Structure 1
Amino acid sequence: MSEQAKIVTGLGKAELHRILVRGYDLTEELLGKITFSQMTCLMLLGRL
């Protein structure tokens, strides 16, 4: 069997104990602290 290609993205990264979205920790810095609109801007533009 051949190896599957890795998917590389700048939007997010998952580690063992945290999830990063554009460099921000999802649970520590984003959830419950920013609005849906702010999250959309972060995902699209890469900044808050």
Structure 2
Amino acid sequence: MFLLAFIDLTLSEIVSDIPHDAGAVVAYILLILFVGFTVLGSRRGKSSSNA
């Protein structure tokens, strides 16, 4: 039953339900930056600093 509700949704219905105000856009940008830096940092490996 729960799965059928997701099958009936289209991409335009999903996108139309996402908040588009300025606060939400800032939150989305910060989330994308956080994920990007996390992925970038995990691929670079450990730095060779002697701190």
Kindly name which structure, 1 or 2, has the bigger radius of gyration based on alpha carbons.
2
TM-score (norm 2): 0.25
Determine which structure has the larger helix proportion and give its number: 2
Determine which structure has the larger strand proportion and give its number: 1
